[in-house]
Amino acid sequence: MKKAVLVILGLLCGFSLAAQTEKGKFLVGAGTTLGISDGSYLMSTAFTSSTFEFEDGTTITNRQTSFIFSPKAGYFFFDHFAAGIDFAISHTNSTNTTTSDFNIDSKINSFGAGPFVRYYIPKGKILPFAELSSLFGTRNQKAEVFGADSETRYSVSSIGGGLGVAILLGEKSSVDLVASYNSTNLKEQEDNFKNTQNTLGLKIGFTIFL
């Protein structure tokens, strides 16, 4: 009898967890990304400081703080398979200081939106998942050099994906951890300047199932 009760409870628990990602449900979430990039800080949260030293003894120290906030909303078109819209809002402050105390200050604001797909593997209270996403948007960079202001605008496109786990917090929510990769293209709107940035990151987020 005791074994039968345990089996029934296990089945009910499994059904409850699977029901979170069944067809017809919604998900909404938000998160941020800790990233390591070979180009820039466009789509990652970071606090960095670096120093460059030249042969003549001159040094340039760069300090920057960047933050990204990424809300999303999706719908389960099939059991465990959701698709929807991702958003990305980022802000960066950067200061370059030379040995002669000459400063170059810049601020960068970026916004993007695009589709995503995510597939969950029902495995108890920890749900592995895979996702693909893309973003399209703009980046506005303002800099102050020798007291003069300059402004540059870019078009942004990004594609990427990741593997993660959703750690369930009851029946309606989860904490998400995702190892991600993104390739981002920047194109200056007034010139033909183009730049590609590749980023490995750890996404940390929170999801609510409705």
pLDDT one-digit tens code per residue, 152-169 = 888 989 999 999 999 999
Ramachandran assignment for 105, one of left (phi > 0), alpha (psi -120 to 50 degrees), beta (any other): beta
Percentage of the chain beyond pLDDT 90 is: 33
Residue 33's nearest CA partner among 159, 204, 197 is 204
* Tens-digit pLDDT profile for residues 15-73: 445 568 899 999 999 987 765 444 444 445 555 555 666 666 667 676 777 778 889 99
Contact (CB, 8 A) for 112 and 80? no
Highest mean pLDDT (candidates 4-8, 37-41, 194-198): 194-198
What are the structural domains of the chain? 2-209 (2.40.160.20)
Global pTM reads 0.74
* Tens-digit pLDDT profile for residues 122-131: 888 899 999 9
- Distant-in-sequence, close-in-space partners of 200: CB < 8 Å, separation ≥ 6: 35, 36, 37, 179, 180, 181
Is beta strand 148-168 parallel, antiparallel or unpaired with respect to 126-145?
antiparallel
